[in-house]
Amino acid sequence: MMLTEASVWGPVQREMAGVLAGHPGDVPGVVDQLTRLQAVLSQVPPLLEGNPLADFNRLYLTISENVLERLFAGSFADPGFVARLDVEFAGRYFDALRQWSDASVACPRSWMLLLQRIPCPGTGPTASAAAGINAHLHYDLPFALVTTLDFEGCEPVDGSDQHRDYLQINEIFAERIPGLRRGYLDRWQLLIDMMNGDLDDWWQGSAVEWTRDVAWRNTQKLWPIRHDLRAVAAEQARLDRTAEALGKLLLSPMGSLLQ
């Protein structure tokens, strides 16, 4: 059952509506909008700083800030592609939040799975962040890639400048996930984490790398049918179901053992 905007966001309803009112047009705009969103999410009752969406948004903001730093540093072979992808990708996230706020049936089920937990305590921050990554990478990313590549006049070809730049973003996840993940852990979990050494970091970094590779392969599958609205809609439904099923696992007691 979907909730109305007032019942989801409570007293910060107006602030959320303001943050979600438009789409950013560049990467600094994405970082700014994620920053403003994080500030509002920290006020959402009853969980305040610990609400599930804030846990994912914090991670997303960190990754986006690092993409922006690399753009400024000239690290990418095709910065136009990376910048356009960043904007398209973030736009799908903001669209999902807007659709949820409006109680729209268009809100993807993979996102609803996480968003419907906002007013419900008990979801761990690591599981919440993982569920957000799952929805954003498994469902949103292939379609953001297709839109970006089509706009840039490129194709999803392995070994191309665009593919190498895409893979470079895996490095950002690998660099940032260990610190971000430890920020989500309780004291006893940190002790277990120390005992595991680098194993958990390797596992979660590899999981993100694998998921982003799957997204690239799904982009290649979508490419020949990208102008066929019916075929694209069928793929959207399929990928949404897949991401929803994985999200249920991540948010289940069994999934918590994988974090």
**Tokens at 128, concatenated:** 């919440």
Q: Which residues of 200-226 are buried (b: 16+ CB within 10 A; e: fewer)?
A: bbeebbebbeebbebbbebbeebbeeb
With the C-alpha atoms ordered 70, 72, 76, 78, is the resulting torsion angle positive or negative?
A: positive
Which pLDDT value is given to residue 250?
84
Count structural domains, the chain: 1
CA dihedral 32, 33, 36, 37 (to 10 degrees): -150
Q: Which two tokens stand for residue 241?
A: 């179901």
Q: What is the pLDDT of residue 9?
A: 79
Q: What pLDDT sits at residue 68?
A: 97
Collect the ranges in the chain with pLDDT lower than 70.
1-8, 45-50, 119-125, 178-206, 253-259
In this prediction, residue 91 carries a pLDDT of 97
- Res 177: pLDDT: 72
The pLDDT, as a whole number, for residue 72 is 97
**Are the C-beta atoms of 2 and 112 separated by less than 8 Å?**
yes
How far apart are alpha carbons 140 and 93 in whole angstroms? 8
Q: What is the reported pLDDT for 166?
A: 97
Instruction: Please work out, in degrees rounded to the nearest 5, the angle formed at the alpha carbon of residue 101 by the alpha carbons of 82 and 31.
Output: 30
Secondary structure percentages of the chain, helix, strand, coil, to 5? 75, 0, 25
Domain around 135: 5-256
pLDDT at res. 192: 37
The pLDDT assigned to 24 comes to 95
Spatial distance between the Cα atoms of 81 and 162, rounded to a whole number of angstroms: 7
The pLDDT value given to residue 92: 97
Query: DSSP secondary-structure letter at 138?
Result: I
State the pLDDT at residue 65.
96
Helix ranges (DSSP H) in 20-78: 27-41, 52-72
